[in-house]
Amino acid sequence: MKFLIIGLGNIGKEYEQTRHNIGFDVVNALAIKHDASFLTDKHADVCEFGFKGKKIIVIKPNTYMNLSGKAVRHWMNEHKIELKNVLVVVDDLAIPFGKMRIRANGSDAGHNGLKNIQELLQTKEYPRLRIGIGNNFPKGRQIDFVLGKWSKEESSELITLLPKAVEAIESFVFQGLGPAMTQFNK
Q: pTM for the complete prediction?
A: 0.95
Q: What CATH number is given for 2-184 in this structure?
A: 3.40.50.1470
Known catalytic residue: 43?
A: no
Strand 100-103 versus strand 39-41 pairing type: unpaired
Strand 54-61 versus strand 86-92 pairing type: unpaired
> Tens digit of pLDDT for each residue in 145-183?
999 999 999 999 999 999 999 999 999 999 999 999 999
Cβ atoms of 134 and 93 within 8 Å: the answer is yes
Please state, in angstroms and rounded to a whole number, the distance separating the CA atoms of residues 40 and 142: 31
Please state, in angstroms and rounded to a whole number, the distance separating the CA atoms of residues 23 and 100: 12
Closest CA to 31 of 18, 45, 42: 45
Catalytic residue among 20, 43, 74, 111: 20
CB atoms under 10 Å from CB of 49, counted, come to: 16
Q: What is the DSSP letter of 149?
A: B
> Tens digit of pLDDT for each residue in 90-135?
999 999 999 999 999 998 888 999 999 999 999 999 999 999 999 8
